[in-house]
Amino acid sequence: MSDIAKAIGNKAELYEAALRNGFYLPKFKCSIITEDYIYGVLIGNVLCPKYNAIKLLPCPRPPDKETLIKLAEEAMSKQSKSLGIDASHTPDKGWLISIISSFNPQCEIFKKSYLPPPRVEKAENKAKVSLPADFLEGLPVSKKKHKVRRLAFLRQGKEEVKNERIKSLHKQYKK
């Protein structure tokens, strides 16, 4: 155990050791990069290819991250292990594209004519606020460039929309 402590003292050193052993890991700052994830990769419980298995294909306009996660999981579905991705721990888009291009090069996102589907409107643009129908009639448009502090009911409405979106994404991951 003392040999391990001499070589690896923290998460950054564990990450570097995995890279030096040839594992193709997501970027260090990704939420998926935890001590448990890296340890799972090293002992073989989490599926992570090595650099020699990676074959890159161009994807100039990739779809959103949720779609890429689904495609990566489909590409690796033949393996008996998981990629270790969940709703709160996700890799970066570049890593996902590399995994898909290496293990499913016929995927539609690599075709010359591929365009991603239109993006879903973000929760910050949709607020669930119930006001009387004539409340906003005749009011001038705000001239402030920066809102100093959001109104509480607007913030709560946006949080509701965001929570609903997270719940729907979580249901998609369970499928």
Helix (H, G, I), strand (E, B) or coil at 82: strand
Angstrom distance (rounded) from CA 87 to CA 100: 19
Q: Would you say residue 63 has pLDDT above 70?
A: yes
Question: What one-character DSSP code corresponds to residue 89?
Answer: B
Is 0.85 topped by the overall pTM? no
Q: Where are the domains of the chain?
A: 2-110, 123-174
Of residues 155 and 50, more confidence is placed in 50
Question: What one-character DSSP code corresponds to residue 116?
Answer: P
Of residues 159 and 74, more confidence is placed in 74
Residue whose pair of structure tokens reads 């709560």 in the numeric block: 156
The reported pLDDT for the residue numbered 18 is 93
pLDDT, mean of residues 29-34: 93
Helix (H, G, I), strand (E, B) or coil at 41: helix
The reported pLDDT for the residue numbered 166 is 79
The reported pLDDT for the residue numbered 139 is 76
Q: Would you say residue 119 has pLDDT above 90?
A: no
The reported pLDDT for the residue numbered 7 is 72
